[in-house]
Structure 1
Amino acid sequence: MRILVIGGYGTFGKRLVESLVNFYQYEIIVAGRSGEKLAKTKHYFSVSANTEIETAQLDVTSDDIKAKLSLIKPNLVINAAGPYQLQKGKCAYGVAKACIEYGCHYIDLADDSEFVTQFSEKLNQQARDAGVILVTGTSTIPALTDAVIRHYLTEFKTLQSVEYGISPGNHTERGKGTVGSILSYTGRPFETLSEGQWKSVFGWQDIKRYDFGSPIGKRWMSNCEIPDLKLLPAIYPQVETVRFQAGLELGILHIGLWVLSWLRRINLIKNLSRYAHQLLQMSYWFYRWGSDVGGMYLNLKGLDKNGKEKAIYWQLVAEKGTGPNVPTIAAELLVEKIQTGQLSAGARPCINLFSLEEFFQVARRWEIYQKEVNYES
């Protein structure tokens, strides 16, 4: 199978390509806008994996994507070129639409709420008519979130609350796309379900301290807008609260962004995303501090089969700077499922497409592990 990975030299795309090259027999083509980065990526895999990958220059916002696909002839396109907030409006779903027209399958690692939640409505019928598979949000959220919930769902008679968060280690590699994604909603209002009512909150506010325990420790956490805030209440209608937050390991960085969120909220700064490059570079001033340990927590609360209150506290832990591999695992699993004919044609978010066991069969490759911090009923 020929796989075109757009953004295959980025923080997550490069790691996904490494997995596809080292553990499978696929033909890989890495694409992106930068000819210099493509050349470096080609050399990197030639040296590190003794593999000659193909490269192609391609811009996800251009109007010639179908023509490019006709030249490259992929069976599957993986769009790992964020931020997906920029792939809306005039160029909305441009890569996915080109895949439908050309006749190949499509996966992306999108985390933008509007992009992911409207994906199926906009593209499902076209994808089914063309006989191709399109999957969005093939990343930690919503894909892993849903896998964890489904794993524990039978423990509950009624699942009432899902509260969770992610905090990377300060030594973890970060990219401009991820920073741009966070800045796009920092200080902006969005809705989340709280005790059965839709409530307006602001990005990177409602700051709190969360204790992961060893080896992660305590981290500051703040509100983030993600697709799950709309997807999970629709999938699990009994759930009354869905809350997601993210945090930076160093307090000076986290609280600094919290201050910027207030400047955006009161309109002193109109668009924080335009400063993504500068803020990314500034974050490296503090690289010597902190650790390479990151993680994710997910707290499920509700009633057990006897009607008693029940809570499950789950965590994922990624040490030694392996955190950026986590968002790529869902995509790797989906590639194999498409290759083996396990998915039907259509467009959908990455919900209920793999199990938690399947996820950690791959995650163990980097010694990424899960644990229940506490379990009570």
Structure 2
Amino acid sequence: MNHLLANRVQTLTPSATLAITAKAKELKEQGVDVIGLGAGEPDFNTPENILQAAKDSMDKGFTKYTPAGGLPALKQAIIAKLERDNQLAYKANEVMVGVGAKHVLYTLFQVILNEGDEVIIPIPYWVSYPEQVKLAGGKPVYVEGTAAQQYKITAQQLRDAVTAKTKAVIINSPSNPSGMIYSKEELAELAKVAEEKDLLIISDEIYEKLVYDGVEHYSIAQLSASVKARTIVVNGVAKSHSMTGWRIGYAAGDASIINAMTDLASHSTSNATTTAQYATIEAYNGSQEAVETMRQAFESRLEVIYPKLSAIPGFQVLKPQGAFYLLPDVSEAAQKTGYDSVDDFVTALLTEANVAVVPGSGFGAPSTIRLSYATSLELLEEAVTRMHNFVESKWQA
């Protein structure tokens, strides 16, 4: 029945992260002791005050439709958050609430891209960026941020990639999958190119709250009024407040783009889940103590696990500054253990060492693997031990 499928979906690449998670779950159901380091979500429950706000909203009968772009009270909570945390001022008509940041990004590409428009995507990238661009009729243009550049792109690389068809550039900081963060100075250089070339900047800041070693997150929209005017900030509560399943994200930026996104959402989702919206109001207006508690837990795990991972033969590991991922280059380990590719190495890790990681090929970085440290320190240490033993047992001098 493939002939009934639209062309746009026949070129889609399945999510590498969801695929490895599904395989690991399948093995676990068969009784295999698999440690999964693939999923990109905190291992904490949603904070109690947020859960209570959701329950209260249901008890009060707040279970009906909301405006397509989000509850007015939630928009105000987001506006207050952006002012408080990022010194950014927005109006209600410049904010749109969607069904998670992923849906927000999908909707954004749908309203800004015409057939053949190009979007510059730094490598390594989050797996859904290219697919969403293609689904909107656009063309992904990849620019590689090498390990020597801390997996970040330079202003000159951006300038060289721009053509007459370039519509936008994506900046994801802190990054999934690398965990690297662009400094204010680096963002300023990229913004200069965006202004010179009249590019829209899509700033994915979903990991904003997860930063380490005293590093501060800085939004590119903070640079100036003119940069802010061409930037769409995308964020949400999934990672910061451990609310991945609640599916609430938002976009903030140019009112005409936000209005178009809201109109499109009115024909696709009607609105984000009402209960989840009330929960998010509390997430932003209530205590932020749990956010910091989780951040500290991730940082402490990183401090323990980073040197252990770096000690595995053939693993080249940069220490991330944010998010909860490590992106080691394991090409030497794969080659020395007899595998033709890192993808084959990853499969063997799962089936022989019972450790699930995500192959970097899904992020445009085929020499790497992505590991999430959003799990207990006990499991992390056991997983690294298994990987170390696996590599040493197969190492061919």
TM tier relative to shorter chain:
0.3 to 0.5
TM-score in terms of structure 2 length: 0.33
Larger fraction in helix: 2
Larger fraction in strand: 1
- When Rg is computed on C-alpha atoms for both structures, the one with the higher figure is 2
TM-score in terms of structure 1 length: 0.34
